[in-house]
Amino acid sequence: MPKLTVQQRLVDALIATGRGTIVPSRSGKYVTLKRPDGSFFYVGKAGGLRFGKTVTDSMPAPDDFKRRLLAETER
């Protein structure tokens, strides 16, 4: 089985925990997931995770959040 990228692991974790659903995006740089509150998660190719209404207005997610998210779903 091929090893998943950090990007794919984060996307899978966000979907599995109900924190987001993939939506179509024009961005070639990020996978976009819509959050239940109407804002978005943006997951970069190298595993960068951002959140906000738009990519330009988004903020990076804390490393602790990413670490806990991956730990939750890898059990």
Model confidence over 6-51: pLDDT tens digits?
A: 999 999 999 999 999 999 998 899 999 999 999 999 999 999 999 9
pLDDT band at 1 (very low <50, low <70, confident <90, very high): low
Question: Token pair for residue 45?
Answer: 């190719």
* 44 is a domain residue: no
Task: Identify which of 61, 57, 52 has the alpha carbon closest to the alpha carbon of residue 33.
Answer: 52
pLDDT band at 3 (very low <50, low <70, confident <90, very high): confident
User: In the predicted model, what is the mean pLDDT of residues 39-64?
Assistant: 96
- Please give the residue range of the domain that contains residue 3: 1-25
Q: How many helices (H) and strands (E) does the chain have?
A: 2, 5
* 33 is a domain residue: no
Task: Identify which of 75, 72, 70 has the alpha carbon closest to the alpha carbon of residue 5.
Answer: 70
Report the predicted TM-score, pTM, of the whole model to 2 decimal places. 0.91
Q: What is the pLDDT of residue 27?
A: 87
Number of domains in the chain: 1
